[in-house]
Amino acid sequence: MSSAPVPQLELLIPWDLPTEQILSAADQLRIGRALQGLLQALRAEDIAACEQLEQALADLGEIESAPATVDSTKTALRQPQVEDFDRYFEAVHVQTLDPAGCLIRSLILTYQRALQLWLAGEFDTDQIATQKQGFISYSQLLLRVFQLPNYESE
Task: Over range 92-98, report the average pLDDT.
Answer: 90
pLDDT above 80 for 79: no
pLDDT above 60 for 1: no
Query: DSSP string of 49-105?
Result: HHHHHHHHHHHH-----EE---S--SSS--HHHHHHHHHHTTEEEEE-S-HHHHHHH
Q: Say what the pTM is.
A: 0.85
Q: Give the closest residue to 107 by CA, choosing from 2, 35, 7, 5.
A: 35
Q: Three-class SS of residue 12? A: strand
Centre a 10 Å sphere on the Cβ of residue 47 and count the other Cβ atoms it contains.
9
> What integer pLDDT is reported at residue 61 of this predicted model?
94
- 19: pLDDT confidence band, cut at 50, 70 and 90? confident
Q: Cα separation of 146 and 20, whole Å?
A: 6
pLDDT digits (tens, 9 = 90+) for 104-117: 999 999 999 999 99
Q: CA 27 from chain center: how many Å? A: 16
∠ CA(5), CA(11), CA(69), 5° rounding? 105
pLDDT above 60 for 2: no
| Cβ neighbours of residue 41 closer than 8 Å, sequence gap 6 or more | 48, 49, 50, 52, 53, 56, 111
